[in-house]
Amino acid sequence: MLRILLHRLLLSVPLLIFVTALTFFLVSLTPGDPAVVILGQNRAPEEYQRLREQLGLMQPVPVQYAGWVETLLHGSLGTSIFNNESVVAKLNARLGVTLSLVVLTSLVSAVVGVALGVASALRRGALARAVDILSLLGIVLPSFWVALVLVAVFAVRLQWLPAIGYVKPSENLGGWLRSLVLPVAVLAGPAIGLIAQQSRNAMLDVLDRPFIRTLRAGGVRPGSLIYRHALRNAGVPILTVIGLVFIALLGGTIIAENVFALPGLGGLAVEATGRHDLPVIQGIVLYFTVIVVVVNLIVDLLYAWLNPRIRVS
């Protein structure tokens, strides 16, 4: 288990370097100039050049990236170009919103998706077809359209849930849950179908194996046979798709946070990209990459727990 942990941590270092470097160079190629955004179109040429020098934009891109890495090694992500606010403070203030949305959506998707997958593997027939339809609808229907429909029905017409805004759990736990119901519903729809399909296929594969027939013939109780033996052996592919869903939700938060006006990292990424605020963009990419590394590490550890052979492979 410790070897798996150390191996993953070592692999994460070049991943962080590659992702941050690629993001830095790609953002530098996109149209836009922070100095123009700050000064406006009616600017004096001398003032424009002076501001670009102050922001370090006159240096070559590799030199700018090296300076950012040096700042990172000193435990800082720099400051925002537009308000000189600490990037770490800016991101930490929004991190809880994004994590709340992603974690809650992942939990709902995993529980409902696995339950539907197991049930459709046991009963098949109409339930299996319903899972296929749910998965197809999740792929076909645009998330922003689903979000607008849910807002129109549950927020505007029925007035059961807030249309926009976020309540901190420390202020009002019930209000926090209500503010996340619609965003979670929008993001969980496609994820539930995907997890349900993978769970059903994995369970069907395991249920057809000889050891299941042997256990069934030996009089093992159906509940123990399904949940203790079959589901555990089907756990590796199910965990894989749940981990992929969690990672994909990091990108999905951009739509949800903008539609429902949630002050998370996704909305901040859109704002920073529009303003070409490179330190903030780099900070968000770094945060997301670290989250991906942590999620993959947790999934690997769960693999080893489910299948002891992985620990010695």
CATH, residue 115:
1.10.3720.10
Cα–Cα distance measured from residue 113 to residue 109, given in angstroms and rounded to the nearest whole number: 5
Mean pLDDT of 151-157: 91
- Residue 301 and residue 154 share a domain: yes
Contact 78, 161 (CB under 8 A): no
- Residue 180 and residue 284 share a domain: yes
Q: Is residue 2 included in any domain, yes or no?
A: no
User: Which residues 6+ apart lie within 8 Å of 15 measured at CB?
Assistant: 289, 293
Confidence of residue 309 (pLDDT cuts 50, 70, 90): low
- Residue 46 and residue 195 share a domain: no
Residue 281 has pLDDT above 80, yes or no: yes
Mean pLDDT of 227-239: 85
Give the 3-state secondary structure of residue 37.
Answer: helix
Containing 284, the helix (H) or strand (E) segment is helix 278-306
- Residue 222 and residue 95 share a domain: yes
Contact 34, 82 (CB under 8 A): yes
Angle at 108 between CA 192 and CA 171, to 5 degrees: 145
User: Which residues 6+ apart lie within 8 Å of 149 measured at CB?
Assistant: none
Mean pLDDT of 174-203: 91
- Residue 175 and residue 35 share a domain: no
Q: How many domains does the chain have?
A: 2
- Residue 94 and residue 57 share a domain: no
Strand partners, 79: 86
270-279 tens-digit pLDDT: 888 888 888 8
Tokens of 167: 């309540």
- Residue 172 and residue 249 share a domain: yes
Mean pLDDT of 126-134: 78
Range of the domain at 233: 88-312
- Residue 219 and residue 93 share a domain: yes
Domain boundary among 21, 46, 75: 75
Q: Is residue 165 included in any domain, yes or no?
A: yes
Confidence of residue 310 (pLDDT cuts 50, 70, 90): low
The candidate with the shortest Cα–Cα distance to 261, out of 108, 97, 86, is: 97
Cα–Cα distance measured from residue 105 to residue 195, given in angstroms and rounded to the nearest whole number: 12
Q: Is residue 92 included in any domain, yes or no?
A: yes
Cα–Cα distance measured from residue 287 to residue 23, given in angstroms and rounded to the nearest whole number: 13
Residue 312 has pLDDT above 50, yes or no: no
Q: Is residue 234 included in any domain, yes or no?
A: yes
- Residue 106 and residue 69 share a domain: no
Q: Is residue 6 included in any domain, yes or no?
A: no
- Residue 240 and residue 207 share a domain: yes
